[in-house]
Chain A
């Protein structure tokens, strides 16, 4: 009997070890470039990154597609990234919480002074274009109506539906301020994902939408961009925002990035954005061309194929197999670390709770509350404390993995063959022997079922790690959402679903394997 019991432990140990892949961390001297999760910002970050790579000896790590201004700024402030592209108006209103100003020069001076003094963060020279907010109306909706300015819009707004991005609806320099300045009131306001608005407007489902002045789609969709006749929208000059300590350590960065001063105008930017958004070209290719056009960079690109919307899904995935393979490894590393750490805490905790019945239910209910936090919110909570990247993602995923394992460990031990436990006690087994010889072997399949549930949840939730720059199969999903390209979305979603199925199958097999004979 001792032999069979030992082999149960041995198996469990082996499985735990398999679930703990060892990540290779290397800390070299490098610049971390971040970006927000929209195309233009990613492109600018890619331009920064390639220029630094071409003109300095520094290596560059890219953390592109972080979820929004708050995440990016916190990442920069805490040193998780060194540099990212930002807009003066955003700095003024979203970060400094100051009232918008209509004058670009004042805006730049204010953010420069305040960021330097408060956080030792430097605004580089403007890149030369403004990506300001504007309101647009499909031309088909303007037939017979003189509609040129926002003031014109005010008159007919009560019969119109507005479709706006979540950020625009909430920012003081977005819809709320606009309503006050112009006395604007729509019949209905619909919150929409950035990339869906254009299609919705073209299909006539919404009448007015917020656009960025450099949006490439403005060249394709026949929209009237309304003039901001009361000068409400603050200037949104694009610039690099960089940590003072990074500049001090690598002064050459100031000179190199200075080469981009006033390098892009609105028209150039709209054209580059068009290639990204509608052409489906990856940011690194477009960035390389942009730098070549400025003679800052010699193009040696062999021409990465743009994503065609007609291309078959599997052909596309095959062409991306190296990238997807890397994403799968990232994905499994994140999920495996989170699950492994989850097991390390949750199984002993379940054992402890079985000995402390009085506190068991409250503790388990408390851990259950983590499941009610929306995953994207939990990931966002991690940023101020742990920065961005792998660490906060693993911690958030780890928190999600705890509940099913703790619950199953506890109830598996508690409910394991009560008559056998009673007999074991009556014949003189100590509580420790009962745990070791009776409860644990009998509860092993139940505990494993909890680990299996946690594994499937973790593999699914890991797709969200892309929002805080941790990589994984969420990266193509997020990119595909921004490009409104189903092929790209599926190239991430399909492997993620397949991984979940495989994990479920493998852990299900382990569950069977751990089931003691005779049960």
Chain B
């Protein structure tokens, strides 16, 4: 049994009295796996994701990384060691592609030449030609290109853990499929531990090693795609899986 990289134990979260968004959630994420958190808006999946890098904290229970509670870790250092990709890319609009990708290395105090070569390697990794794109501003990129830059930025300092908040959510269908395909091949090469939030069941089945189904703040089932398809433990899981398009595994 591999040691868990991240663990969530008895986590509940309330925003004010009676507004409970997470209700006694327990699970673990093991090294090298991609865990997908799936659920509707309001299921608490994004709140849960934000607990892994200390952007928010549980009301009760605890979230640990390498068996150390996030609450007692220095959030700045933690965040520099954890990659993060959000739905709208979140690039700094007044920084070039090169500056955006080099953000975390800059924060970590890398030398300029070291940053430049790293940025170039990462742009190649996400299939963007450095010579063509490094000096561009985010406004001069397409949605898919921006999201590629966001991926490169998340990976820049080679973090062991990457958090992804609906990274493909804002893209058109063709770009989304292309990026998902490349994400799969990257994932196999890079061996990162990843937690991804989505509401798209096809995406979850395709990209997740394991899937955690959340509804109204409760964890209904966690397991591999095959577990979920063969042995759903809850009507909601059955209903959710019914929404998938056919031929995912073809």
Contacts and interface: CB of A to CB of B under 8 A. Distances in A.
A419 B88 contact: yes
Given A1-B99, A426-B79, A420 B90 contact: yes
A519 B90 CA distance: 14
Interface string A388-404: 00000000000000000
B152 interface: no
A427 B138 contact: no
Contact of A517 (B55, B84, B104, B137): B137
A518 B100 CA distance: 12
Band of interface residues on A: 20 to 34
Interface centre among B88, B90, B91, B96 (most CB of A within 10 A): B90
A422 B95 CA distance: 15
Given A425-B55, A427-B107, A419 B90 contact: yes
A236 B84 CA distance: 84
Given A1-B99, A518-B96, A519-B93, A427 B86 contact: no
B107 A428 contact: yes
Contacts of A519: 93-94, 139
A411 B78 CA distance: 30
Interface in A419-442: 419-420, 422-430, 433, 437-438, 441-442
B209 to A, nearest CB: 23
Interface in B40-98: 53, 55, 76-81, 84, 86, 88-96
A99 interface: no
A294 interface: no
Contact of A428 (B76, B93, B140): B76
A386 to B, nearest CB: 43
Interface centre among A419, A429, A438, A518 (most CB of B within 10 A): A518
A423 B55 contact: no
A516 interface: yes
A417 interface: yes
B92 A422 contact: no
A419 B137 contact: no
B92 A438 contact: yes
B92 A423 contact: yes
B80 A426 contact: no
Interface in B91-125: 91-96, 99, 103-104, 106-107
A428 B91 CA distance: 14
A427 B104 contact: yes
B77 A426 contact: no
A518 B95 contact: yes
Chain A interface main SS type: helix
Contact of B55 (A1, A426, A430, A441): A426
A420 B84 contact: no
B107 A442 contact: no
Contact of A516 (B77, B78, B94): B94
Contacts, number: 76
B112 to A, nearest CB: 10
B210 interface: no
B153 interface: yes
Given A427-B153, A428-B107, A518-B139, A422 B90 contact: yes
A518 B141 CA distance: 11
Contacts of B106: 1
Contacts of A427: 79-80, 84, 103-104, 107, 153-154
B77 A428 contact: yes
Contacts of A428: 76-81, 104, 107
Interface string B148-159: 001001100000
A422 B91 CA distance: 10
Contacts of B104: 427-428
B100 to A, nearest CB: 9
A452 B63 CA distance: 49
Nearest to B140: A518
Nearest to B78: A428
Contacts of A429: 76, 103, 107
Contact of B93 (A420, A422, A425): A420
Interface string A489-519: 0000000000000000000000000001111
Contacts of A442: 93-94
Contacts of A438: 92
A441 B94 contact: yes
Given A427-B104, A518-B137, A420 B79 contact: no
A1 B95 contact: yes
A427 B79 CA distance: 5
Contacts of B150: 423
A1 B77 CA distance: 22
B195 to A, nearest CB: 13
B94 to A, nearest CB: 4
Given A518-B95, A519-B94, A426 B84 contact: yes
Contacts of A518: 93-96, 137-140
Given A426-B86, A428-B107, A417 B80 contact: no
Interface centre among A1, A437, A438 (most CB of B within 10 A): A1
A441 to B, nearest CB: 5
Interface string A427-466: 1111001000110011000000000000000000000000
Contacts of A516: 93-94
Nearest to B75: A428
A391 B101 CA distance: 52
Contacts of B107: 427-429, 433
Contacts of B80: 427-428
Given A428-B104, A517-B137, 4 more contacts: A424-B90, A426-B55, A429-B103, A518-B93
Interface of B: 53, 55, 76-81, 84, 86, 88-96, 99, 103-104, 106-107, 137-140, 150, 153-154, 163
6 contacts: A426-B53, A437-B92, A442-B94, A516-B94, A518-B93, A518-B94
Which 4 A/B pairs are nearest by Cβ-Cβ distance?
A: A423-B90, A518-B137, A428-B80, A516-B94
